[in-house]
Structure 1
Amino acid sequence: MEIVQGRLIVRVKLEGKKFNTFEDALIDTGAAFTVIPAEVADFLELGVWKKRPKIELVTASGLIKPSVRILDRLEVGNVKIENLPVVIHEIPDPAPIKILLGMNFIERTNLLVNGKQKLFKIEDP
Structure 2
Amino acid sequence: MIRFAVILLVFLALAPLVPILVEKRLGSQDTPRVDSGLKVDDTADTGERIYRISRNGAGHFVAEARLNGTFVDMLVDTGATVTVLPESVAEDIGIFLSESDFTIPIRTANGTARGARTVIDGLRLGDIRLDDIDALVLKDVSLGQPLLGMSVLNRLERFDMSGGTLVLVQ
**Is TM (by shorter chain) over 0.5?**
yes
Q: Which runs of 5+ in 2 are unaligned?
A: 1-52
How does 1:42-121 map onto structure 2 within 5 Å?
42-46=91-95, 54-90=103-139, 92=141, 98-109=145-156, 110-114=158-162, 117-121=163-167
CA distance in 2, matches of 1:63, 1:24: 24
CA distance in 1, matches of 2:88, 2:94: 10
TM norm structure 1: 0.78
Choose between structure 1 and 2: higher strand proportion. 1
Match of 1:35 in 2: 84
CA distance in 1, matches of 2:77, 2:140: 13
Choose between structure 1 and 2: higher helix proportion. 2
Q: Which runs of 5+ in 1 are unaligned?
A: none
1:6 pairs with 59, 68, 72, which one?
Answer: 59
Q: Which has the higher contact order (CA 8 A, sep 6+)?
A: 1
Amino acid at match of 1:102: G
TM norm structure 2: 0.59
Identity, % of aligned pairs?
A: 24
The SS at the match of 2:61 is strand
Match of 2:27 in 1: none
Q: What is the RMSD computed on CA atoms of the aligned residues?
A: 2.5
